[in-house]
């Protein structure tokens, strides 16, 4: 009978040890995961603060640029530094979707057929 009770005690001890180890590993894993969550949250907060700082700097620079590009400010700088710049002439620009050389060739060809001189062509090509 002693062997049966001793075998039962041995099995009970093994089960108890396995349960303690399993519970301990779950506890340790939980603590490690909470630590990782904390580290990640801190890194996210740091990055968020840096993003906000950069966005503020961009907004500040945009304000400075927009202020410097105001027409009255540009006129003041022109007078102050005696640059002698004048407003540009507003030349009307007509955007042609087709090839300008092909269009001119058609006009010249049409003029040759009707035996009259083609009208003078004025071409200004605006580049974007």
- Residue 123 inside a domain? The answer is no
- Residue 50 inside a domain? The answer is yes
Q: What is the pLDDT of residues 73-82, one digit of tens each?
A: 988 998 999 8
Q: What is the pTM of this model?
A: 0.47
- Residue 35 inside a domain? The answer is yes
Percent of the chain with pLDDT over 70: 79
- Residue 122 inside a domain? The answer is no
Q: What is the pLDDT of residues 8-23, one digit of tens each?
A: 888 889 999 999 999 9
- Residue 69 inside a domain? The answer is yes
CB 115 within 8 A of CB 122: no
Domain that holds residue 6: 2-89
Q: What are phi and psi of 39, to 5 degrees?
A: -65, -45
- Residue 30 inside a domain? The answer is yes
Separation CA 111–CA 105 (nearest Å): 10
- Residue 10 inside a domain? The answer is yes
Q: What is the pLDDT of residues 41-95, one digit of tens each?
A: 999 999 999 999 999 999 999 999 999 888 889 889 989 998 888 777 666 777 7
Instruction: Give the total number of structural domains in the chain.
Output: 1
- Residue 34 inside a domain? The answer is yes
């Amino acid at each position: 009978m002693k062997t049966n009770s001793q075998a039962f005690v041995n099995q009970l001890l093994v089960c108890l040890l396995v349960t303690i180890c399993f519970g301990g590993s779950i506890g340790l894993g939980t603590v490690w995961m909470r630590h990782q969550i904390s580290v990640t949250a801190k890194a996210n907060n740091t990055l968020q603060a840096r993003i906000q700082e950069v966005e503020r700097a961009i907004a500040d620079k945009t304000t400075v640029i927009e202020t410097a590009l105001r027409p009255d400010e540009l006129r003041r700088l022109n007078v102050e530094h005696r640059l002698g710049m004048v407003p540009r002439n507003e030349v009307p620009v007509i955007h042609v979707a087709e090839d300008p050389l092909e269009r001119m060739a058609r006009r010249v060809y049409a003029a040759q057929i009707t035996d009259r001189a083609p009208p003078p062509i004025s071409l200004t090509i605006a580049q974007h």
